[in-house]
Amino acid sequence: MFQIQRHAAIFQEMCNIAAERKPVDYITLLQAMDAEISGGATFLANLTSFACSSKFDAYCEVLIISWREKKKNTILFQAQAENWSIEKVQQSLDSLQTHVYSTDTDITQDLLEMESRPFKAMPPQ
């Protein structure tokens, strides 16, 4: 549900770095990613000014609303192009309202630890 593909690529690289048990920060992202894909040093540095872990749930809600709106437009376009029945259109639109997003785990503590990773010494591997 990323707004732009660049953000998805950055997040994927962050996951890759974390999977290697390395610190996920500005420097590791700069080294791991091609500047054309990441947007370069300035783009990555500016991203940190937009994040606030206390607003994480609100950010998720905003993204879900945006995703649902885009999905609605896609459904309506496809329904018109394929001449769907009214019932199929209603069912597809209803699924957007009833689809529930949840995570199996609470990631708050992990996010807080990641926020301070650049300032902690990493244990030897």
pTM of structure: 0.48
Counted domains in the chain: 1
Please indicate, yes or no, if residue 56 is contained in any of the structural domains: yes
Instruction: Tell me whether residue 32 is in a domain.
Output: no
Q: Does residue 57 lie in a domain region?
A: yes
Helix/strand/coil (H/E/C) assignment for every residue in the chain: CCCCHHHHHHHHHHHHHHHCCCCCCHHHHHHHCCHHHHCHHHHHHHHCCCCCHHHHHHHHHHHHHHHHHHHHHHHHHHHHHHCCCHHHHHHHHHHHHHCCCCCCCCCHHHHHHHHHHHHCCCCCC
* Domain membership of residue 72 as a residue range: 52-104
Q: Tell me if 86 is assigned to some domain.
A: yes
**Residue 38 included in any domain:** no
- Identify whether 94 is part of a domain: yes
Q: For the segment 35-85, what is each residue's pLDDT rounded down to a tens digit?
A: 888 888 888 888 877 777 787 788 878 878 888 898 999 999 999 999 999
Residue 21 lies in a domain: no
